[in-house]
């Protein structure tokens, strides 16, 4: 371990910077090293020297050509740059107790002025309030409260998108990681690992919805690590399914299929429930459809339908897969068929799902209205497509989802051959106003 010196490590102001906190939580060392250089004045050669790395390796990380995943190297970075353990999901470092902390203390995640003590009446932000609560012993009530928060986050994400939720989710993830570092009870540690894994997945999902794919992948990877630590294979499969879906958005069809099939293998090894397996086969279908592989898409859809037909009341489904009901299966099959260009089969499925889908699921309804419009346009039903697209546009105004906005932007290009048709011209004007 590197011994402390008088002028070592990142400045306190940089460790308290929200951008650095987020980069550390995601273990995004490209960003960490970049911020260290740009805002901390610590150049590549010094980073290399303090972290016991070669300058060329640090340069490759800074340029994004290389990542750091080895735990020994992560610990060397924490020790070399004096990053408190909790910020990187590590146990407290030995030097944290004997060296004046340049950053907020282990349980302290909120941004604050270095050296400023708490003053009576000084307002606290959410992180500060949670940090005070962290001083108490973890109890079953603590765990229930955290789980309830996650359920509420997902509900609000469905209703309004995740953009506004993300700071709170990431703050709560840091809080739970702090609890995990302090907890010694094995039962509580397992529960905290599971909660942290769910929060990391949720953070990744909100970033995926914002089309910030690189950072989303980092959080999904963190979620995988946390789930693997407690051998929660079903949740590992769930996170792999998220990564598979993201791969389809990045036009990485082969990667999407590989991730979905790996998820199926992981879930099957743990006796995955029919509902979970159906969801995973749908994700595989998306990957095949993205590659325009018609036989493989239909085979995956058939397997998803077969698995869903086995769903039973007594199944021990994980709570996070209960969203995948008959309506969700129907609309996802419709979307996969729509990606294949089979609009005739896709349109009635998507329309049926929209009739049955909860009115409160605003982002889902916006997304599915777009797909209905797209399939109708493929069938030459231009006026109906404009009505569905207007519905999607109206819903998107109440949802903060760059993913939905991007789909509508793409739809505008599909309208170009019909722009002289009055409903198309009116819709195009609305879309242009939204884009501008």
Residue 216 maps to a domain = yes
Do 140 and 192 lie in a common domain? yes
Quickly count: other Cβ atoms within 10 Å of residue 121's Cβ: 5
Dist. CA 26–CA 214, nearest whole Å = 10
Residue 144 maps to a domain = yes
Residue 157 maps to a domain = yes
Residue 104 maps to a domain = no
CATH number at residue 12: 1.10.260.40
Res 95: pLDDT: 79
pLDDT interval class at 222 (50, 70, 90): very high
Quickly count: other Cβ atoms within 10 Å of residue 364's Cβ: 22
Residues 52-64 pLDDT 10s: 888 888 988 998 8
Do 137 and 61 lie in a common domain? no
Do 2 and 61 lie in a common domain? yes
Question: Mean pLDDT throughout 284-290?
Answer: 97
Helix (H) or strand (E) holding 298: helix 294-308
pLDDT > 70 in the chain, percent = 89
- Whether 122 shows a pLDDT value over 70: the answer reads no
Do 200 and 133 lie in a common domain? yes
Residues 161-194 pLDDT 10s: 878 888 889 989 998 998 888 877 887 889 999 9
Residue 66 maps to a domain = yes
* pTM as predicted: 0.69
Q: Which of 96, 95, 91, 76 is nearest to 29 (CA)?
A: 76
The region that residue 27 occupies, defined by phi over 0 for left and psi between -120 and 50 for alpha, beta otherwise, is left
Res 435: pLDDT: 60
pLDDT interval class at 320 (50, 70, 90): very high
- Whether 133 shows a pLDDT value over 90: the answer reads no
Q: What secondary structure letter does DSSP report for 262?
A: H
Q: What is the dihedral of CA 342, 343, 346, 352, to 10 degrees?
A: -170
Quickly count: other Cβ atoms within 10 Å of residue 76's Cβ: 18
pLDDT interval class at 121 (50, 70, 90): very low
What is the maximum alpha-carbon separation in the chain? 74
Residue 139 maps to a domain = yes
Do 143 and 53 lie in a common domain? no
Give every CB contact of residue 251 below 8 A, 6+ residues apart in sequence. Answer: 290
- Write out the two tokens for 300: 């995956």
Q: Which of 287, 236, 278 is nearest to 257 (CA)?
A: 287
**Residue with the larger pLDDT of the pair 110 and 229:** 229
Report the number of distinct structural domains present in the chain.
Answer: 2
The region that residue 364 occupies, defined by phi over 0 for left and psi between -120 and 50 for alpha, beta otherwise, is alpha
Do 147 and 83 lie in a common domain? no
Measured between alpha carbons, how far apart are the two ends of the chain, in Å?
Answer: 54
Do 152 and 225 lie in a common domain? yes
Res 111: pLDDT: 37
pLDDT interval class at 199 (50, 70, 90): very high
Residue 296 maps to a domain = no
Q: What is the dihedral of CA 178, 180, 185, 189, to 10 degrees?
A: 160
Do 76 and 132 lie in a common domain? no
Residue found under tokens 């992180």: 127
| Residue where one domain finishes, among candidates 231, 255, 275 | 231
HSE, side-chain direction, 13 A CA sphere, residue 353: 26
Question: Mean pLDDT throughout 64-70?
Answer: 84
- Write out the two tokens for 242: 């998220």
In whole angstroms, how far apart are CA 407 and each of 57, 373, 435? 39, 11, 12
**Residue with the larger pLDDT of the pair 96 and 415:** 415
- Whether 314 shows a pLDDT value over 80: the answer reads yes
Do 132 and 227 lie in a common domain? yes
| Residue where one domain finishes, among candidates 231, 255, 276 | 231
| Residue where one domain finishes, among candidates 184, 204, 231 | 231
Do 160 and 80 lie in a common domain? no
Residue 382 maps to a domain = no
Res 119: pLDDT: 34
In whole angstroms, how far apart are CA 194 and each of 5, 148, 198, 319, 321? 38, 13, 6, 12, 15
Range(s) of the domain holding residue 20: 1-87
């Amino acid at each position: 371990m590197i011994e402390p010196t008088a002028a070592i490590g990142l400045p306190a102001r940089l460790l308290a910077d929200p951008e650095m906190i987020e980069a550390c939580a995601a273990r995004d060392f490209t960003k960490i090293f970049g911020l260290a250089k740009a805002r901390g004045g610590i150049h590549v050669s010094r980073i290399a020297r303090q972290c016991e790395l070669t300058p060329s390796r640090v340069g490759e990380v800074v340029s994004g050509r290389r990542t750091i995943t080895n735990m020994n190297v992560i610990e060397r970075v924490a020790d070399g740059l004096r990053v408190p353990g909790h910020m990187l999901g590590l146990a407290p470092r030995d030097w944290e107790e004997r060296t004046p902390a340049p950053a907020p203390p282990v349980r302290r995640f909120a941004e604050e002025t270095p050296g400023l003590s708490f003053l009576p009446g000084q307002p606290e932000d959410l992180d500060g309030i949670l940090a005070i609560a962290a001083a108490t012993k973890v109890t079953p009530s603590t765990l229930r409260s955290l789980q309830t928060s996650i359920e509420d986050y997902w509900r609000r994400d469905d209703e309004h998108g995740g953009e506004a939720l993300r700071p709170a989710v990431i703050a709560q993830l840091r809080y739970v990681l702090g609890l995990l570092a302090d907890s010694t009870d094995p039962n509580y540690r397992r529960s905290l690992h599971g909660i942290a894994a769910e929060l990391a997945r949720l953070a990744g999902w909100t970033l995926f919805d914002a089309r910030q794919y690189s950072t989303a992948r980092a959080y999904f990877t963190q979620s995988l690590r946390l789930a693997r630590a407690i051998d929660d294979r079903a949740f590992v499969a769930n996170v792999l399914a998220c990564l598979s879906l993201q791969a389809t958005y990045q036009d990485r069809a082969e990667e999407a299929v590989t991730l979905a099939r790996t998820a199926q293998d992981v879930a099957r090894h743990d006796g995955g429930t029919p509902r979970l397996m159906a969801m995973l086969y749908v994700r595989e279908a998306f990957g095949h459809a993205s590659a325009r592989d018609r036989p493989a898409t239909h085979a995956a859809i058939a397997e998803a339908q077969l698995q869903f037909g086995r769903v039973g009341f007594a199944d021990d489904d994980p709570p996070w897969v209960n969203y995948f009901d008959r309506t969700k299966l129907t609309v996802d099959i419709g979307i996969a068929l729509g990606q294949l260009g089979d609009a005739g089969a896709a349109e009635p499925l998507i329309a049926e799902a929209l009739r049955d889908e909860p009115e409160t699921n605003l982002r889902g309804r916006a997304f599915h209205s777009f797909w209905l419009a797209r399939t109708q346009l493929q069938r030459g039903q231009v006026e109906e497509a404009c009505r569905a697209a207007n519905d999607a546009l109206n819903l998107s105004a109440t949802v903060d989802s760059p993913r939905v906005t991007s789909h509508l932007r793409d739809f505008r290009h599909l309208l170009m051959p019909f722009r002289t048709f009055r409903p198309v011209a009116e819709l195009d004007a609305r879309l242009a106003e939204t884009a501008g």
